[in-house]
Structure 1
Amino acid sequence: MGFYDDFDNKPKKKSGGNLTSWVAVALVSAVIGSGTTLVMVPKLINANVINVNGNNSSSHTSTTAGSTAIGNATNMSVNVNTGITEAVNKVKPAIVGVSNMQKQKDFFGRTKTNEDEVGTGSGVLFDAKGYIITNNHVVDGADDVQVSLPDGKKIQAKVLGTDFYTDLAVLKVDPNDVKDITPAKLGNSDSLTIGEPAIAIGNPLGAKFAQTVTVGVISALNRELPVTDEQSGQEVYSMNVIQTDAAINPGNSGGALVNINGEVVGINSAKIATSGVEGIGFSIPITEAEPIVQQLIDKGKIDRPVMGITPVNLSDLSARQKPADVSVDTGVVIYDISDYAKKAGLAVGDVITKIDDTQVDDQIALRKALYKKQPGDKITVEFYRGKDKKTITMTLGKQGDVK
């Protein structure tokens, strides 16, 4: 059997009538109702029909899992110490601001004596000795570098070394200035999986938004980010980077990408800033950054291996410029050569197609294959001389020594 409310089906009474009679009825009803309440409520309380808190030992009070319920009211307590907040608390104190200070020229072209801040970024203190990782483009061209600590204090920093190809730089500050800061722990970017949490910490837009935390996921691994020579405008290298949707904005460069364990797994470097594109940022894998950072600390530069050749892309040459009888469409043509490479068995016009087991289609692929090596390492070079495919083994030289 159902219960139906047929109130809306009842005929509506017309408005009007005697106002005095309506007021009288209302007053009588109120008096009767109040009197009944005064008489009945004490009797209902004594009969335990109505419970009043504190009136008896069976008060409706219970506590479960951090919440307290009294009658119909509930006070909830929520534990906000999640894995993300714990990870942030481990790394955040080690995130600093980095200011690029340069001497500018006045209206008459004279160099000013004071320095102006021409750019800001972020950095990660990773060693109690005062070593800080940041991006090369953050400190590029700086006459001086200042580091802003979490408490707002600004200190001088020395640039130990920079690397254009990997966009990394290492700074050094006085250890006494950072003795109260726990350095960030570096993790293993090789163990990352797509979809796991990613936390970006840095100083977007400068000190005003210092130590901003944004959260997302690892969107993709092994993305290729082009490195362009500013003078020529040509792409000269390709960085392997981590893609994340954790918000990365100007000023975040050089900051940390952190995993759920509170370990730095990447150094934030860039984002796609095209209109209509959101949530595509890139970070340098820390496992690839570490050997570069160590060389910058030890030597102040990267000793990259060289073959002693000047290469050009085969695909960039016209039919008339290509070597005669070449039987491949892609590769690197030796345009000029040193005595070092000649002794190894190479010649002008040879088309290099493979270094060890790595296919070489252009100069970028050649550099990536070589920069995984060290001076003194031996490599196998596969190349074409006319229609003939040849292979040699040569020892890589040191940049600056090979002529």
Structure 2
Amino acid sequence: MNQNSGLMKTAIVAVISALIGGGAAYAGFSRLGNSANDVTTATQTPTKAGATKISNVKVNSSSQTTTAFQKVNTSVVSVVNLQKQQQSTGDLSELFGSGSTNSNNGSSSKSSSSDLEESSEGSGLIYEKKDGKAYIVTNNHVVADSDKVEVILSDGTKLEASLVGTDAVSDLAVLKIDGAKVKKTATFGDSDSIKAGESVLAIGSPLGSEYATSVTQGIISAKKRTIDVTDETTGQTTGQATVIQTDTAINPGNSGGPLVNMAGQVIGINSMKLASNGETSVEGMGFAIPSNEVVKIINQLVANGKVVRPALGISVIDLTNISSTQQSSVLKLPSSVNSGVVVASVTSSSVAKKAGISKYDVIVGLGGKTVSSVADLHTILYSYAMNSTTEIQYYHNGSLKKANVKLTQAASDSTATSKQTN
């Protein structure tokens, strides 16, 4: 009797729990029905064990997110970088490790007859269609060193693309494809009008075209963030870039894809993410080139095939790389000067030469702005249009001097080195 009583209590508890659970479920459906979503509900007849069915509750959801995505998604493409691969001559000496000084024995080289293979994949955005051609913006690093570039449209169509122009400084490039199958292009918004906390989408091909047109959502973490730009060959910081910071998930392959606001406008081109800071792993720190900068660069690339920037015609290094002894004995700097850039060489007939700049001078200002490093000098210099005139402040034999310099020399015309200001 006691045992049966215990079972009865359990059964009663189970029934009450089921009723409470059913009430919670019903209440949940009611809330959905009263929301912006269109929900159709229906009563389901309890079924026996092993006869579970799919719910017939239908939700027709439409939101800013889906609307914004649908405005842009078909304009996002995968960009495939194809390169000639290193091929071995097949000499057995390579297999057994016996080296040879003969370049034809056991060596590897890029053969012109070798098949092209996929080197990397990124993303791109179709932003214009004109005269039967469609124009795509992507990152310069996505197409760098390519022997051939292919573009995969959102419907899977693969097309060969030609390079219109590239710009390593801004990390942007423009491609051109046959526009016959391009139905829609994206629209750029004003990146100056965005706000921190604003919702955004990132669209692209993370990890390659297998995951093409993937969309992630986040917010703008910072409207303008200044980050260092580093030369991949030398490791030296060569400039600074002002970018949009976002916590939207950006992964390898997303490079070149759009950052989109809730109006479906492109307000940035995704370019990089910060995965670690020394020994600390980092989450949710991605960066995009602002759309206003993108438009300015791609218009120049289409018009000229390159971006023309001014140069001083000098090579420089950071003052911090010079020992304190040499700063005093060779550069003759006052002890109060602890930052700037040292002129290592001056090209003949350069604008710097005409302004009176010479080897071992230390530049500390340009256009009234402080120059503390090579990055500062690049950033300030590249903000000027060609043929502008500005004032340069520098120390010569320990004395502070000022001179006007007319920026008539283009960076592409100067003798470039890893330390060059262009």
TM-score range, shorter chain: 0.7 to 0.9
Amino acid in structure 1 at the alignment position of 2:339: T
Confirm or deny: 8 A CA contact 1:313 1:362 kept in the other structure.
yes
Task: Give the C-alpha shift of residue 335 in structure 1.
Answer: 1.9
Equivalent residue for 1:183, pick from 182, 185, 192 = 185
Equivalent residue for 1:172, pick from 162, 170, 176 = 176
CA–CA distance in 2 between the matches of 1:64 and 1:268?
38
**Match of 2:385, SS?**
coil
Amino acid in structure 2 at the alignment position of 1:193: K
Query: In structure 2, what is the equivalent of residue 267 of structure 1?
Result: 269
Task: Give the C-alpha shift of residue 173 in structure 1.
Answer: 0.7
CA–CA distance in 2 between the matches of 1:224 and 1:176?
40
The structure number with the bigger radius of gyration is 1
Confirm or deny: 8 A CA contact 2:42 2:57 kept in the other structure.
no
Task: Give the C-alpha shift of residue 226 in structure 1.
Answer: 2.7
Equivalent residue for 2:356, pick from 335, 342, 345 = 345
Equivalent residue for 1:390, pick from 401, 406, 414 = 401
Q: How does 1:351-370 map to 2 (within 5 A)?
A: 351-370=362-381
Give the gaps of 5 or more residues in structure 1: 1-12, 17-62
Equivalent residue for 2:230, pick from 215, 228, 232 = 228
CA–CA distance in 2 between the matches of 1:225 and 1:64?
46
Confirm or deny: 8 A CA contact 1:100 1:138 kept in the other structure.
yes
CA–CA distance in 1 between the matches of 2:84 and 2:42?
68
Confirm or deny: 8 A CA contact 2:160 2:177 kept in the other structure.
yes
Q: How does 1:188-267 map to 2 (within 5 A)?
A: 188-267=190-269
**Match of 2:325, SS?**
coil
Query: In structure 1, what is the equivalent of residue 308 of structure 2?
Result: 303
Please give the per-residue CA displacement for 1:130-178, whole angstroms capped at 9, x wherever unaligned: 1100011110110000000111110010011111121111101112242
Please give the per-residue CA displacement for 1:235-256, whole angstroms capped at 9, x wherever unaligned: 2222221111111111101000
Taking structure 1 as reference, are residues 385 and 77 closer, same or farther at Cα in structure 2, changes over 3 Å only? same
Amino acid in structure 2 at the alignment position of 1:225: I
CA–CA distance in 2 between the matches of 1:64 and 1:344?
73
CA–CA distance in 2 between the matches of 1:87 and 1:70?
32
Number of aligned positions between the proteins? 343
Query: In structure 1, what is the equivalent of residue 342 of structure 2?
Result: 333
Confirm or deny: 8 A CA contact 2:342 2:363 kept in the other structure.
yes
Taking structure 1 as reference, are residues 391 and 154 closer, same or farther at Cα in structure 2, changes over 3 Å only? same
Query: In structure 2, what is the equivalent of residue 324 of structure 1?
Result: 332
Please give the per-residue CA displacement for 1:260-312, whole angstroms capped at 9, x wherever unaligned: 11010111111122374221111111111211111111111121101122212
**Match of 2:301, SS?**
helix
Please give the per-residue CA displacement for 1:102-156, whole angstroms capped at 9, x wherever unaligned: 1112222352532101100000000013110001111011000000011111001
CA–CA distance in 1 between the matches of 2:243 and 2:39?
46
Deviates more, 1:384-393 or 1:196-205: 384-393
Taking structure 1 as reference, are residues 249 and 64 closer, same or farther at Cα in structure 2, changes over 3 Å only? closer
RMSD of aligned Cα (Å): 2.5
Q: Which runs of 4+ in 1 moved over 6 A?
A: 68-76
Query: In structure 1, what is the equivalent of residue 298 of structure 2?
Result: 293
Q: How does 1:23-34 map to 2 (within 5 A)?
A: none
Taking structure 1 as reference, are residues 350 and 64 closer, same or farther at Cα in structure 2, changes over 3 Å only? closer
Taking structure 1 as reference, are residues 78 and 15 closer, same or farther at Cα in structure 2, changes over 3 Å only? closer
**Match of 2:232, SS?**
coil
Task: Give the C-alpha shift of residue 69 in structure 1.
Answer: 7.4
CA–CA distance in 2 between the matches of 1:286 and 1:328?
38
Taking structure 1 as reference, are residues 192 and 328 closer, same or farther at Cα in structure 2, changes over 3 Å only? same
1:149 aligns with 2:149: no
Amino acid in structure 2 at the alignment position of 1:399: A
Query: In structure 1, what is the equivalent of residue 286 of structure 2?
Result: 281
Please give the per-residue CA displacement for 1:41-84, whole angstroms capped at 9, x wherever unaligned: xxxxxxxxxxxxxxxxxxxxxx9885677899999764421111
CA–CA distance in 2 between the matches of 1:70 and 1:310?
76
| TM-score where L is the length of structure 2 | 0.76
Confirm or deny: 8 A CA contact 1:102 1:144 kept in the other structure.
yes
CA–CA distance in 1 between the matches of 2:288 and 2:412?
30
Deviates more, 1:138-147 or 1:267-276: 267-276
**Match of 2:68, SS?**
helix
CA–CA distance in 2 between the matches of 1:80 and 1:69?
15
CA–CA distance in 1 between the matches of 2:43 and 2:158?
56
Amino acid in structure 1 at the alignment position of 2:332: A
Amino acid in structure 2 at the alignment position of 1:230: E
CA–CA distance in 2 between the matches of 1:316 and 1:374?
30
Taking structure 1 as reference, are residues 391 and 104 closer, same or farther at Cα in structure 2, changes over 3 Å only? same
Taking structure 1 as reference, are residues 333 and 81 closer, same or farther at Cα in structure 2, changes over 3 Å only? same
Equivalent residue for 1:84, pick from 40, 65, 68 = 65
Equivalent residue for 1:399, pick from 392, 411, 415 = 411
